[in-house]
Every structure is written in structure tokens, then in C-alpha cells.
Structure 1
Amino acid sequence: MEIAKELISQYGYISIFCLLALGIVGLPVPDEILMSFVGYLASIHVLHYKSAVIASFCGAMSGMVLSYFLGKRIGKPLLANYGKWIGLTPIRLQKVEGWFHKYGPWTIVFGYFIPGFRHVTCYLSGMSGMGTCKYLLFAGLGALIWCLIFITIGYYIGEIQE
């Protein structure tokens, strides 16, 4: 987290964008803590609140779109060959796909709030053949809500500190 703080302090919004994009794809970035820190920086006027939300939203969406297309292009073959190493057998994969077809769009929105799970929903969306427009709509909704909540929490924590 110290590296993330240093990057944000030096490079501002572009580092927020990049850290979130890479975090959503799967790099171990503590996204919720990062967003709360961004909100705190907005509260002490190091960053602008609206600009921080926009940079965060765009970074999250970039990571989600990349993950979606990775799932769409290489997801099934990759899991068919290597899924057994992580306990994802073809039978389990079929169950997950069936469940995702039933609840998929809302899983994307609410999955944002479950660390680790948000990364998987992107890949599963692509693997399951969810339409791109539908995916973008629900992913965008989830990303916007998630960014607003955590940045606002950090912002109000900063306000209390003053």
C-alpha cells in the first residue's frame, strides 16, 4: 500500500487509473483501501473529488473490460486445460456457468463489494458469452456505485479528522 500511496502522491489521477485497472485484472492491489485513501486525499484538497471519481471509474472499467475480453477469448480453453489445478472440474464449470446465466448481470454489480470475487465475475461474464453492451451496462453501474461509496467513505473520514 505504501507504493500505491507514493504513486498517487507523485502522479495523481493517472496512477489511480492504472492501479485500479491492474487491480481489477488481478494484481494484488488493496482496492477498497486505495479508494478510501483517494477519498481522504480529496477531503484534504490534494485531489478533486469529482476528478478522483472519474479516474477511479475509468480505471475500474478499463480493468473490467480487459478481463471480460480475456474471459471471452481464452477463458474456456484455459480453464479446460488448467482448471483442475484449482479445483474447477468440467462439471463444476458447467454449474458455475448455469448459475452465472441465471444471475450474471446482478452478480457483476454486487460482486464488486466482495474482494477477489469482483475479479472472477469479469472473466466469467466473458466466458459465459454475455453480450458486450449488457456487460458494460451492469459493470459500469457496479463500478460507479463502488467508486462513489469508497471514495465518499474516505472523504468523510478525512472530514472527521480535521
Structure 2
Amino acid sequence: MEFAKEIIGQYGYFAIYGLLALGVIGMPIPDEVLMTFVGYLASISVLDYSVSIAVCFGGAFTGGLLSYTIGRKAGRPLFHKYGKWIGVNAKRFNRVETWFLKYGSWSVILGYFIPGVRNLMCCFSGMSRMAMSRYVLVSGIGAFVWCVVFISIGFYVGVLT
């Protein structure tokens, strides 16, 4: 966390935006811890609470859109070519895709709260050809609620200490 503290101290909101975008794409960045820390910084008036939510939402949403695009453009060919190496055959892929077409919207919204799943849901939305307008709506809802929850937790922990 010391690294994130230094980056945020030096680059401010730009660092928060970039770290969250990379985290949602799949880089090993502890997004929940980062947002809780951002909330704490807002509670001690280093950052602004409302701006922090907007910046975190922007970063998470951007990362989600990039993951969706990667899934839409390259996801299927990669899974068909390399899926066997991770235990995904065509039958499993089709079964998951059928399930996703039925529950995909809720999966994207709730998936933001589960590390690792968040990355897969965004990418799989593109792979399953979820309509862009639908994805933007459900991803926006999920990203916004996720950001508000974790930033608020950090903020209120900071207020109580």
C-alpha cells in the first residue's frame, strides 16, 4: 500500500483513475483496498469525497469497457485456441455462455464485488456479444455502487478514528 500512497501523493486523482482502470482490466492491484484508502484520505481532507467517487467510477468504468472490448474482439478466438490448457472445452464454454445470456446483467453488477470475477464478467460480456448499450448500463450501475460502497467504508472508518 506504500506504493499506492506514494503514487497518489505524487499524481493525485490521475493515479487513482489509472490504478483502478488497470485493476479492473486484470492487473494485480487491490482495488477494494485502494478505494478504501481513498475514502480514508477523503475523511482527513486530503482528497474530496465526491471527486474521489467520480474519479474511481471513471477508472473502474474505463477498465470495464476496455475488458469488454478485449473480450469482444479477441476473447472467443483465444478461448477456442487456448481453452483446453485451462480446462475449457467447447461444451463448457457453450454452457457458461447460455447461463450468462440468462443472468449476465446481474452477473456484471454483482461481479464488481468479487475480486477476479469482476475481470472475467467484463471480458465475458464482450465474448458473449452482450449489447454495448446494455453492458454500459449494467457496468455503470455495478461500478458506481462498488465505488460508493468502498470509498464510503474508508471514509467512515477515517471519521471514526
Spell out, residue by residue over 1:91-145, the C-alpha distance to the aligned partner (whole angstroms, 9 max, x if none): 1111110110000011000011111000000111000010001000000000000
Task: Give runs of ≥4 in structure 1 deviating > 6 Å.
Answer: none
Question: Could you tell me the percent identity over the aligned residues?
Answer: 53
| Partner in structure 2 of residue 94 of structure 1 | 94
Spell out, residue by residue over 1:60-114, the C-alpha distance to the aligned partner (whole angstroms, 9 max, x if none): 0100000001000000000000111111111111111011000001100001111
1:141 aligns with 2:134: no
Cα root mean square deviation, aligned:
0.6
1:2 CA displacement: 2.1
Provide the secondary structure at the position in 2 that maps to 1:88: coil
| Partner in structure 1 of residue 41 of structure 2 | 41
1:112 aligns with 2:92: no
Q: Which runs of 5+ in 2 are unaligned?
A: none
Structure 2 letter corresponding to 1:158 = G
Q: Supply the distance in 2 between the matched residues of 1:150 and 1:103 (Cα, whole angstroms).
A: 25
| Partner in structure 1 of residue 23 of structure 2 | 23
Aligned residue pairs: how many?
Answer: 161
1:20 CA displacement: 0.3
Q: Which runs of 5+ in 1 are unaligned?
A: none
Spell out, residue by residue over 1:37-72, the C-alpha distance to the aligned partner (whole angstroms, 9 max, x if none): 000000000000000000000000100000001000
Provide the secondary structure at the position in 2 that maps to 1:114: coil
Q: TM-score, normalised by structure 1?
A: 0.98
| Partner in structure 2 of residue 13 of structure 1 | 13
